[in-house]
Amino acid sequence: MPLSMYQASVPVFARTLGVLSKILDKGAAYAEARNIDPSILVNARLAPDMFPLSRQVQIAGDMAMRGAARLAGVDFPNNPDTETTFPELQERIGKTVRFIEGLSPKQIDGSDERPITIQMRDGALSFTGQDYLLNFVLPNLYFHVTAAYLILRHNGVELGKEDFLGA
């Protein structure tokens, strides 16, 4: 049986956000164990022109939520991007996972040829559902989760490949 659009999206998104949540747990534990103000890690960035950890988490969640919603042809919630602590970032991940897991296979399967257009700063991008998932959503999701991992790793949090890949 071929892989369905649902199987290639929602479970992958939920698992990846679960990994991100565990990475954030390690960051919070590291800050606590070393008596570091957690906001230092939440606001850390790899380079001056890159987003901080908090924004990387927000974008990763938005990629999953908006990706699943667009594939399902439903509206997605608007998040105000106000999270400034590890618990708030965890809450955002939890809300996102609950939203995407609330979508059914019936809503998403068959979306491979659905036209999807998203508005970017430089103009509109148009995709088929499959191209959108494989060439936009998944690469962006992995990029921002990787950036979050690297920010924490760069700041001393003991993370390894197993943490990124998950159990």
Please give the pLDDT value at position 2: 84
Cα atoms in the 13 Å half-sphere on the side-chain side of 74: 14
- Can you give the pTM of this predicted structure? 0.96
Please give the pLDDT value at position 10: 98
Vertex 25: Cα angle to 104 and 33 (nearest 5): 175
CATH number at residue 17: 1.20.120.450
Please give the pLDDT value at position 9: 98
Among 144, 134, 157, 120, which Cα is nearest to 58's? 144
Residues lower than pLDDT 70 in the chain: 1
Q: Which domain holds residue 24?
A: 5-165
Cα–Cα dist 8/55, whole Å? 25
Please give the pLDDT value at position 1: 62
Please give the pLDDT value at position 166: 83
User: How many Cβ atoms are within 10 Å of 88's Cβ, its own excluded?
Assistant: 14
Q: How many structural domains comprise the chain?
A: 1
